[in-house]
Amino acid sequence: MKGLVLSLISHGKIETTEAKAKELRPFIEKLITKANVGTLASGRIVLSRLYNLKVESNKLIKEIAPKYKGRNGGYTRITKLPRRKGDASKMAIIELI
């Protein structure tokens, strides 16, 4: 989960399995909601949930969260893709709207 969260924050869009995307969605949406609060305490919570990585937490707090200031949720979109040929797993793209 750590790698998925950090990749989504860095790139804004990742391709993964459908099950992982559905697990990632509530985690990242709660982080964005917490980053929208803008207090010192909420910033520290975001930093701790992002494994004390300051670059990613600063990007989330200063760049990503302000885009969703007037929005009450629904910050991500999951788009289903065709199955892979090798193992036939269900694939999806999760992206920040």
pLDDT beyond 90 at 88:
no
Query: Is the distance from CB of 13 to CB of 75 less than 8 angstroms?
Result: no
pLDDT beyond 90 at 85:
no
pLDDT recorded at residue 70: 86
Where do the domains of the chain lie, and which CATH numbers do they carry? Answer: 2-96 (3.90.1030.10)
Query: Is the distance from CB of 60 to CB of 96 less than 8 angstroms?
Result: no
pLDDT digits (tens, 9 = 90+) for 12-61: 999 999 999 999 999 999 999 999 998 999 999 999 999 999 999 999 99
pLDDT beyond 90 at 87:
no
DSSP string for residues in 62-94: IIIGGGGTT--S--EEEEEEPPPTTT---EEEE
| Cα–Cα–Cα angle for 73, 96, 1, rounded to 5 degrees | 95
pLDDT beyond 90 at 1:
no
Query: Is the distance from CB of 5 to CB of 24 less than 8 angstroms?
Result: yes
Gyration radius of the chain over CA positions:
14
The pTM is what? 0.87
